[in-house]
Structure 1
Amino acid sequence: MRTSYPFDAGPLVQPVDGRAVREFARRLRAEGRVTSMFGSPQAIIGFVVAGVVLLIVGSSFLSVIAGIVFALARSNGVAAAVAALVPTVVVIGAIALAVVLIIRAVQGSAERWYRLDGFARANGMTYVPQFGSPGLPGMIFSQGRSRQSTDLVRGDRPRFVEFANYRYVTGSGKNQTTHKWGYVAVKLDVPLPHIVLDATGNNGLFGSNLPLTFDRDQRLSLEGDFDRYFSLSCPAGYERDALYLFTPDIMARFIDNAAALDVEIVDDWLFLYAKRDFSTLDPATWAWLFSVVGALLDKLAQWARWRDERLGDAPTHAAHAAAAASALPLSGSSPPGATAVPFAVPAASLRPPPGVAAPGRRLKRGVPWVAVVVFGLIGLFWLIAQTGFLGLFFR
């Protein structure tokens, strides 16, 4: 992300050396940076059990087919025996195809790691293949279980930025769902109030695609066309602070560059979300993401000046500073042995410290009433159908 590193997508598409790819994957596994297929006792036990079952079933199947083939060869001739071999050939072919697909998948993962690592280094960044439970404060990182970030591309100039894919699982059994996200995490200079920009362009049938719903009383309407692209939520009482942060020029940057992304500001982080992979081998995706972050970075510096007046009583601070200053002897009239302070009290010392008061740190949760009503009606219709009540009207 530094000016000395022009955008270079070459490693994503240029031919690679197969031996270099295999050596890179071997090194990643040796360093523990990726999980091996046999990286846990449970995985080893699973492979052993699957192998034993496949061996027993395959041996039994082949034994039965062999008996049928020999019997048909003696009674009905060679043609019948050959016909009996067809199922065997199909089964063997299916097993061979499965083995080939597994090998190609493993090789494809290794090549992906190699290419993304080369892309990161070419652009002055670093690559991390996997990171379990990242623990970031954004809303998607506290959902479900089996949380994992993958294909992380990180840079720290001029500020820390991380591009990655993210997965978590909810439900169990037949109702288990794997949720897939792409995110960009940008480190801010100071903690800011919890603010969410819900992009209207990616909402679904039941409204927002975000995993959390926030109280509608926290919705803030901004000037211009901003509300056409984003629904902004901020904690009650922090409306003026949101207006201070989202000046017209910053709103224009978000509309022009990030209208397809959901945005969350929480603590000292800015997150960009979408329900798609961000860290891919597609140069166009990376060019878009780099342009989005680049367009926002020079505006984020304005936010470093924000302070939450609720953290300190500014007049009280000023009164204490004035009293202390009046007690100091003036230069040129100091009594013998006294030393005058040769500098003035800086204005910055009268401001509250960086941080956010408790009411502004998190938005209040809400209830997705549209989804509740729709699913409630579906459930009511199903219940009525099960009782046979509808049969009174449809005979």
Structure 2
Amino acid sequence: MPVSFDMSALSAPVDPAVAHREFQERIDREGRRTGARVGMAWSVFQTVVLVAGGGILAALAVVAVQLAFGGEGLNAATVIIAALVVAPLAVARVRSYRTGPDAVEADVYRLTRFAAANGLSHVLAESDPDLPAALFQVGGARVASDVMVAASPRRFEVANYSYETWTARTRMPRSATFAVLESGIPLPAMTIRAASPSDQAGAWAPQPQQTPLPFEGGFGSTFRVFCAVEDADRVRAVLTEPVQTALIALVRHGDVEIVGGSVFFLARRQLRLADVAFWEWVEDLVAMVDAVDDGGVRVGTSADPARRVRREALFDGRRSSRPFVLGCLLPLVVGLAAAALVTAFSH
């Protein structure tokens, strides 16, 4: 059955005072106050380490430039230039502590009203979600946030998800967004993973009994499919050409796992759930699963070009990270150039 959401709440004006009050009431009611304080303390610690580490690296780079241009190494100019290099990073982090909470509260304000308008339940956070996909069996500190659940006409659950893994002695924070839909028919267990090296994979892996199942054409170059050997024919029967085309259009930046009668769509980064494009994506996913339940013959995606553009922007993590990268690299380049000029003219 097609699903269409009332999305007016996602673009409605936000009353900041009401949003703040409701958010504080929610975290108290759901017992998340301690977790919020721990998260803030951890974020502050990360900022201190990041700025201090960046300052040390910047100072070392400045010293190297000074030595290369005939200077004597570490001096007052080294400290001043290094401090100026990391200043934009420090300012950006401090500013995020002022604007970040407001943005979160505004999103919760909108999601609360969106959930009410569409018959969804909404929970701010859920620790260690009990879900059967491989993603939820790895790492620690597992938390689903902004958990939205629909009971009908097709049960589904969406949320952002964070967890941590360890590499040697280094803790690696990881994130994802998932949408899980119940299938109306028995489907073979399978894992479909994006093949592009630009799409950073998470720490989870296909089930041990699953082996690669090759596909040709654009689908085979976009995804790698894994399943048990005995399920190969059933998997090919599900992944018809129309289904392949829809998967390329909707999930080419992520993964799909079918397990226990549920279809998990996994984005490899956290998405903004209060974005209209996210719920348009969920509508398209529901339509695709409906079509698979009906035999996978008529599977299509929206022909609206604006909708496709919004979906691409939703998944384009590189676009959102460019200002941060430029904001860090540009001061470093200017600082090193300044170090070279100051050293050259002082000798």
State the TM-score, normalizing by the size of structure 2: 0.60
Q: 1:275 aligns with which of 268, 273, 290?
A: 268
Alignment of 1:184-195 (within 5 A): 184-189=179-184, 192-195=187-190
Give how far 1:128 is off. Answer: 1.6
**Structure 1 partner of 2:157:** 162
| In 1, Cα distance between equivalents of 2:218 and 2:95 | 53
Determine what percentage of the aligned residue pairs are the same residue.
23
Tell me, what secondary structure is at the counterpart of 2:269?
Answer: coil
Distance 1:38 1:275 in 2: 24
- The match for 1:22 is 20
Measured after TM superposition, the shift of residue 16 of structure 1 is 1.5
Greater C-alpha radius of gyration: 1
Which of 196, 200, 203 is 2:197 aligned to? Answer: 203
Q: How many Å separate the matches in 1 of 2:112 and 2:291?
A: 27
- Determine the structure 2 residue equivalent to 1:238: 231
CA distance in 2, matches of 1:208, 1:269: 21
One-letter amino acid of the counterpart of residue 133, structure 2? G
Aligned equivalents of 2:252, 2:278: Cα separation in 1: 15
**Which of 116, 119, 123 pairs up with 1:124?**
119
Distance 1:210 1:241, change over 3 A: farther
Paired position in structure 1 for 2:343 = none
Aligned-pair distance for 1:231? Answer: 1.5
Which aligned pairs between 1:29-40 and structure 2 lie closer than 5 A?
A: 29-32=27-30, 35-37=32-34
1:122 offset after TM fit, Å? 2.8
The answer (yes or no) to whether the contact 1:7–1:123 under 8 Å persists in 2 is yes
Q: Is the 8 A contact 1:191 1:266 kept in 2?
A: no
The equivalent position to 1:136 in structure 2, one of 128, 131, 135, is: 131
Give yes or no for contact 2:183–2:293 (8 Å, CA) kept in 1: yes
> What residue is the counterpart of 1:255 in the other structure?
248
**1: CA distance between counterparts of 2:137 and 2:210?**
23
Note the 1:170-181 alignment, pairs <5 A: 170-171=165-166, 175-181=170-176
Distance, in Å, in 2 between the alignment partners of 1:217 and 1:154 is 29
Counterpart CA distance in 2 for 1:39 and 1:287 is: 30
- 1, 6, 11: which one pairs with 1:8? 6
State the 1:15 CA deviation.
1.4
| Counterpart amino acid of residue 181 in structure 2 | V
**Which deviations, in whole Å up to 9, do the C-alpha atoms of 1:196-244 show, x marking residues without a partner?**
11122x4349x95562166798222246543122221110122122123
1:100-119 equivalence runs, <5 A: 102=97, 104-119=99-114
- Deviation of the 1:142 alpha carbon: 0.7
When residues 134 and 279 of structure 1 are mapped into structure 2, their CA distance, relative to the original with a 3 A threshold, is farther
Q: 1:102 to 1:174 in 2, by over 3 A?
A: farther
CA contact (8 A) 1:2 1:157 kept: no
Deviations 1:59-82 (A, max 9, x none): xxxxxxxxxxxxxxxxxxxxxxxx
Tell me the TM-score normalized by structure 1. 0.54
Q: Which AA in structure 2 matches 1:18?
A: P
Alignment of 1:1-395 (within 5 A): 6-32=4-30, 35-37=32-34, 102=97, 104-171=99-166, 175-189=170-184, 192-200=187-195, 202-204=196-198, 211-212=204-205, 218-222=211-215, 225-302=218-295
1:133 and 1:149 in contact (8 A); partners too: yes
How far is the alpha carbon of 1:277 from its aligned partner? 1.6
- Could you say which residue in structure 1 is the equivalent of 2:66? none
SS of the residue 1:137 aligns to:
coil
Query: Contact 2:211 / 2:229 at 8 angstroms: preserved in 1?
Result: yes
What is the Cα deviation at residue 261 of structure 1? 2.5
The structure-2 alpha-carbon separation of the partners of 1:190 and 1:132, relative to structure 1 and needing over 3 Å to count, comes to farther
Q: Report if the CA contact (8 A) 2:149-2:156 is conserved.
A: yes
How far apart, CA to CA, are the structure 2 residues paired with 1:108 and 1:274? Answer: 22
Query: Superposition RMSD on alpha carbons, in Å?
Result: 3.8
What's the CA shift for 1:274? 1.6
| Structure 1 contact 253–296 (Cα < 8 Å) conserved | no
The alignment partner of 1:263 has SS state of strand
Runs of at least 5 residues in structure 2 that lack an aligned partner in the other structure: 46-91, 297-347
> Secondary structure at 1:128's aligned position in 2?
strand
In 2, Cα distance between equivalents of 1:242 and 1:295: 16
1:218 alignment partner AA: T
* Partners of 2:17 and 2:206 in 1: CA distance: 49
CA contact (8 A) 2:120 2:150 kept: yes
Q: Which runs of 5+ in 1 are unaligned?
A: 51-96, 304-395
- Using the alignment, how far apart are the partners of 1:223 and 1:105 within structure 2? 45
2:256 touches 2:266 (CA, 8 Å); kept in 1? yes
